[in-house]
Amino acid sequence: MDDEFNVTYITFGGHVEVDKYRYVYFVIMFIVYVLIICSNSTIVYLIWVHKNLHEPMYIFIAALLLISVLSTAIYPKLLIDFLSEKQIISYSACLFQFHVFYSLGGSEFLLLAVMAYDRYVSICKPLKYPTIMTKTTVSIFLVLAWVLPACQIAVPAGLSANTKLCNFILKGVFCNNTVYKLQCVISKARFIRDMIILVNVALVPVLFILFTYTRIFLITYQNGREVRKKAAQTCLPHLIVLVNLSCLCVYDVIIVGLEPVFPEIVHLIMTLQIVLYHPLFNPIMYGVKMKEISKHLKRLFCQAKMK
């Protein structure tokens, strides 16, 4: 629907009894919003202030947790919608939300791939580690991890801006791949192009990570028990985060097709899992499983209790 300024607006149709439970939704989402920002920011802060954490692995972890903070960019709109009479968004803002959501997801996959390479060099080529993982190399990896997905996701987002819409009600509460259901026609060429982008930003990094960790485990298996233990301690958190992220990625694709199958409330809960669960999972995983980070967290909380 277009107003006098020729702006197309989309209505979020995924809310369930928002008039009745608006304050319940708002309080729950606001608490989660604060928890995500505080938990991720705390670990980023610890990595920033402690010199013994100024290593490539921890810098990549900080970048990963920063993505979790930035992924909450959709939360203010969600919170506003819960308190609003109408849950609407301009189509251009919806596409921007789509772009940010999937760009950050792609960046997370690439960062996990970089972290896998970092662990491979550290464990399998320890003597060459200082010359390979230099500050310049780390900076290049970080820039590429942020820029490449953003540039690739900009293609479908930009082309969608000029696509004719036949539906103005989005069956969700934020703009993910359900945006495609608004469009009248999705050509075979566009479908193939989007599949190529998905392979580039998700599947290729996952395959690289699996190959790299397989190499690590094969090499460490031939060495002593202590080497295997050290490899497991540093690699396991990254693998768990990868499995979690990959499951959510598949889940995000499948949930669109399952939308007619489940009741509205079940579909709403399933949709919110994508933006609730993972940003809280990462800081817990790295805060508990990474020994050095866990040590600084305990000191921080002990100091807070003493005050």
One digit per residue, the tens of pLDDT, for the chain of length 307 reads 444 456 788 888 888 888 888 899 899 999 999 999 999 999 999 999 988 889 999 999 999 999 999 988 899 999 999 998 888 999 999 999 999 999 999 999 999 999 999 999 988 888 899 999 999 999 999 999 999 999 999 988 888 888 888 888 888 888 888 888 888 877 778 888 888 988 898 899 999 999 998 888 888 877 767 667 777 777 888 888 888 888 888 877 777 666 666 677 777 777 777 788 888 888 888 887 787 888 888 887 776 655 5
What are the boundaries of each domain within the chain? 9-306
Asked if 141 and 236 count as a contact pair (C-beta separation under 8 A), the reply is no
The CATH number given to 9-306 is 1.20.1070.10
CB neighbour list of residue 122: distance below 8 Å, 6 or more residues apart? 57, 129, 133, 234
DSSP 207-218: HHHHHHHHHHHH
Residue 293 corresponds to which tokens in the numbers above?
A: 């980070």
What pLDDT score does 99 carry?
92
Backbone angles phi, psi at 155, to 5 degrees: -65, -60
Q: Helix H segments across 50-203?
A: 56-70, 75-83, 91-124, 129-132, 135-160, 188-198
H/E element, 205: helix 204-221
What distance in Å separates the CA atoms of residue 69 and residue 138, rounded to the nearest whole number?
21
What distance in Å separates the CA atoms of residue 191 and residue 175, rounded to the nearest whole number?
18
CB-side exposure of 210: number of CA atoms within 13 Å?
Answer: 8
What pLDDT score does 2 carry?
45
pTM of the model as a whole: 0.88
What pLDDT score does 304 carry?
60
Per-residue buried b or exposed e for 33-59, using 16+ beta carbons within 10 Å of the residue's own CB: beebeebbbbbbebbeeeeebebbbbb
User: Nearest Cα to 116, choosing from 43, 213, 261?
Assistant: 213
